[in-house]
Amino acid sequence: MHMYKILICEDEENIVSFLEAELKFESFEIDIAYDGEEAITLFSQNEYDLILLDIMLPIRNGLECLREFRKTSSVPVIILTARKEVFDKVAFLNAGADDYVTKPFDTLELIARVKRNIKRFKTLTPKESQAKMSLYDNHENIHKTNSSKLPNNTQLKLNKEGYQAYIGDNQLALTKTEFEILLHLHSNLNKVQTREEIIRTVFGDFYGESNIVDANIKNIRAKIANYTSHQVIETVRGKGYVIRI
């Protein structure tokens, strides 16, 4: 049985002790960094299957660490935060975080998110040599705005195996979470998806905060807006989001 390796980046010893005990009980191998500099050093020297990253680290903060990680790796990163402000969460999501947990965390929820993010990373991110393009370019699957066919250079195309999304020939720099939300909406064309439905599909049943969906949708729209003014994802007030054709 393969033992997955996790890097815990946290400066509070009581939290580290708790996380280490719980994760080792679940058969994970653990490395610990008590400051940002140590986190970046360990990351450069080892291969990890997931990183638990505190926002308020000494020497170099969590956001600095995340940006360093994302220069070379798409390893899942779950943010540990004692703050409830949406700004903090959005900033880390924009920088490439996959998920976040607000302290104090429920043990079952934390373990579920760790396992889910590792599973997503291992099973849904194929090697480039195995990725096959499966672009949606037939009549039923071309995204349209205002019931009219989009010009060729503004068509939304998805490569499910390669985790790639395009507007025309321009690739969108989406995180795995953003791609999965976009894919879920595309898989349910013309059907309004509530935040709860999106969370259940992308994050799992243990996820309780719906504003993470809004933050990711905002990021997706901003990246799409770099290449087209067409509104691909529509907000249905009081209900959720939909992609219409």
User: Residue 205 belongs to a domain with what CATH number?
Assistant: 1.10.10.10
Cβ atoms of 149 and 142 within 8 Å: the answer is yes
Q: Do 89 and 9 have their domain in common?
A: yes
Q: Do 156 and 218 have their domain in common?
A: yes
Report pLDDT for 29: 96
Per-residue pLDDT tens over the stretch 113-132: 899 889 877 765 444 323 33
Report pLDDT for 148: 39
Region for residue 169 given its phi and psi (left: phi exceeds 0; alpha: psi -120 to 50; beta: otherwise): alpha
Domain of residue 166: give its range.
128-242
Q: Give me the residue label for tokens 């008590």.
A: 34
Report pLDDT for 153: 53
Q: Do 142 and 106 have their domain in common?
A: no
Q: Do 104 and 137 have their domain in common?
A: no
Cβ atoms of 194 and 238 within 8 Å: the answer is no
> Above 90 in pLDDT, residue 8?
yes
Of 124, 154, 177, which residue is a domain's last? 124
pTM of full prediction above 0.85: no
> Above 70 in pLDDT, residue 208?
no
Q: Do 38 and 94 have their domain in common?
A: yes
Q: Do 94 and 115 have their domain in common?
A: yes
DSSP designation for 223: H
Q: Do 54 and 22 have their domain in common?
A: yes
38: which 2 tokens? 């140590």
Of 84, 102, 124, which residue is a domain's last? 124
Confidence of residue 58 (pLDDT cuts 50, 70, 90): very high
> Above 80 in pLDDT, residue 192?
yes
Q: Do 150 and 176 have their domain in common?
A: yes
Q: Do 153 and 98 have their domain in common?
A: no
Whole-angstrom CA distances from 94 to 149, 153, 176, 189, 206 are: 31, 26, 12, 26, 22
- In whole angstroms, give the CA distance from residue 68 to residue 24: 26
Return the closest-CA partner of residue 170 out of 216, 114, 225. 225
Number of domains in the chain: 2
Confidence of residue 86 (pLDDT cuts 50, 70, 90): low
Q: Do 201 and 108 have their domain in common?
A: no
More confident residue, 102 or 148: 102
In this structure, what CATH number is given to the domain that contains residue 37?
A: 3.40.50.2300
- In whole angstroms, give the CA distance from residue 169 to residue 192: 27
Q: Do 235 and 176 have their domain in common?
A: yes
Return the closest-CA partner of residue 79 out of 70, 88, 68, 87. 88
List 72's β-bridge partners, or say none. none
Mean pLDDT across the chain: 81
What is the arithmetic mean of pLDDT over 88-95?
76
What is the arithmetic mean of pLDDT over 26-48?
96
Of 60, 95, 124, which residue is a domain's last? 124
Cβ atoms of 77 and 97 within 8 Å: the answer is yes
Return the closest-CA partner of residue 221 out of 234, 205, 202, 208. 234
Confidence of residue 142 (pLDDT cuts 50, 70, 90): very low
- In whole angstroms, give the CA distance from residue 90 to residue 100: 10
Q: Do 29 and 55 have their domain in common?
A: yes
Pairing of the two strands 156-159 and 164-167: antiparallel
Report pLDDT for 1: 57
